[in-house]
Amino acid sequence: MSFSKKTYIKRSSYLQKALPFLDKNLIKVFTGQRRTGKSYMMLQVMDEVLKINPVAQIIFIDKELMEFDFIKSANDLMNYLNQTIDEGKQTYVFIDEVQEIEEFEKVLRSLLNEGRADIWCAGSNAEILTGELADRLSGRYIEIRIHSLSYLEFLEFHSLANDNTSLHLYLKFGGLPNLKSLPLEDDVVFDYLKSINATVLLKDVIKRHQIRNVAMLENLIRFMVDNTGSLFSAASISKFLKSQGQKISASIISNYISYILDSYYLIKVPRSDLQGKRIFEINEKYFFEDLGLRNAWTGFQPMHINKLIENVVLKHLVFQEFKITVGSVGDKEIDFVAEKSGIKIYVQCAYLITNEKTQEREFGNLLSINDNHRKIVVSMDEMAGGNIEGIEHLHLKDFLSTSF
């Protein structure tokens, strides 16, 4: 029997990252947007612990459960652990949504210094890795970022074949793991996703940052939905909203964007000059952690297929831990420049390569780069395959099935 008494599908790629740090004198921190599966990752680690040591003591504090509502501060947490830890056993402490406990980092530091337990925690806000925890535990914690399901995980969770029908479902509904328990029907799924949107915004943005202008926040996210993958700045958003009768300063918009980014709801991709090898300080692209949550704002809109393709390609590269920028070569733009461990990949995204002009734009931009790194055009052309002058042409579902 597993510790959680629940059935789940193992997310092996994350377990492979996490388990080498078991029993190491480090605080292990799962981070990511709410409902991406951080809690289940901790349950999977607990089950692995009990396989190794069946008599280990496991303490699991889930701040989303009422039974732990009394733990609000560092003192509450320490008192509970002092009463619960059996000093005669090897102890593992797991805390879910740890950011809900005021000054939690003091307790984690104390446990780490005293060696009383192996510490694992999860949080849905980037602030948990700033401030005192980061300052005082520099080099003594490891972050493991959890994302919504990759395309191949989506197929596994829903027992689907790798075909265009499944790809369409992924582009429409996204990859939140709990969709597995729901029928993949528009009304059901989007009602669920709207509730998750409300939860993320309320708990991790509005309440945390005491935002009063909720309507402005929602309008900003809708702007992000309409402009997914477009280059813009806080100043350009301010000008647009002013044209719509909403006078909001660029500085306030910049703050709101940072709050949304801290909740892991959006992913920011800066621009880089491939010739000068520098990062531009203004105008970046924003994408959504989960496409289903994006689509829940407006409903699935097939006319946005280019935006969806670009977002899902970005997510596949992020899932594989690439550092990503939008590339600039003179007046040409490269959708993604992905780098990690000496690997560099250039990727262009398109819906269909229907004519010479589109082919010249997508392949020509990559041909303007004079190096020998891998270059790929991703589209939904059924005849995608092969290459043009060394540039690969992959169907989207094949790209999303490739490990780089």
Tell me the mean pLDDT in the region 41-54: 96
Same domain, 292 and 257: yes
Total domains, the chain: 2
Same domain, 222 and 85: no
pLDDT at 137: 67
Name the residue with tokens 């780098």: 339
pLDDT(400) > 70: yes
Q: Residue 206 sits in which domain range? A: 151-399
Q: Distance between CA 242 and CA 68 in Å, rounded? A: 45
Same domain, 114 and 189: no
pLDDT at 6: 66
Same domain, 157 and 42: no
Same domain, 103 and 175: no
Q: Among 145, 162, 177, where does a domain finish? A: 145
Tens of pLDDT, residues 177-223: 999 999 999 999 999 999 999 999 999 999 999 999 999 999 999 99
Evaluate whether residue 3 is within a structural domain. Answer: no
Same domain, 135 and 237: no
Burial 212-245 (b: 16+ CB within 10 A, else e): eeeeebebbbebbbebbbebbbbebbbeebeeee
Query: For strand 332-340 and strand 323-329, is the pairing parallel, antiparallel, or unpaired?
Result: antiparallel
Tell me the mean pLDDT in the region 58-73: 96
Q: What average pLDDT is seen over the chain?
A: 93
Same domain, 267 and 333: yes
pLDDT at 133: 62
Reported as a pLDDT band with limits 50, 70 and 90, residue 3 is low
Evaluate whether residue 2 is within a structural domain. Answer: no
Please answer whether residues 131 and 270 qualify as being in contact, where contact means their C-beta atoms are separated by less than 8 angstroms.
no
Q: Distance between CA 11 and CA 153 in Å, rounded? A: 8
Tens of pLDDT, residues 229-279: 999 999 999 998 888 888 889 999 999 999 999 999 999 999 988 875 777
Same domain, 274 and 174: yes
pLDDT at 281: 65
Reported as a pLDDT band with limits 50, 70 and 90, residue 331 is confident
pLDDT at 265: 97
pLDDT at 132: 59
Q: Which residue has the higher pLDDT, 272 or 60?
A: 60
Same domain, 296 and 393: yes
Q: 126: domain CATH number?
A: 3.40.50.300
Retrieve residue 119's tokens: 């510490």
Q: To the nearest 10°, the Cα dihedral for 225, 227, 232, 234?
A: -30
Same domain, 130 and 257: no
Tens of pLDDT, residues 95-149: 999 999 998 988 998 999 999 999 999 999 887 887 656 776 677 899 999 999 9
**Sheet (strand 141-145) strand order:** 57-62, 91-96, 118-123, 27-31, 141-145
Q: Which residues contact 234 (CB under 8 A, 6 or more apart)?
A: 250, 251, 253, 254, 257
Evaluate whether residue 6 is within a structural domain. Answer: no
Tens of pLDDT, residues 161-172: 999 999 999 999
Same domain, 198 and 334: yes
Evaluate whether residue 7 is within a structural domain. Answer: no
Reported as a pLDDT band with limits 50, 70 and 90, residue 1 is very low
Tell me the mean pLDDT in the region 24-39: 95
Evaluate whether residue 130 is within a structural domain. Answer: yes
Q: Distance between CA 349 and CA 308 in Å, rounded? A: 10
Tens of pLDDT, residues 269-304: 999 888 757 776 678 999 999 999 999 999 999 999
Evaluate whether residue 172 is within a structural domain. Answer: yes
- C-alpha distances in Å from residue 275, one per residue of 196, 347, 382: 42, 17, 34
Same domain, 117 and 164: no
For a pLDDT cut of 70, what percent of the chain falls above it? 96
Q: Among 128, 145, 162, where does a domain finish? A: 145
Q: Among 126, 145, 164, where does a domain finish? A: 145
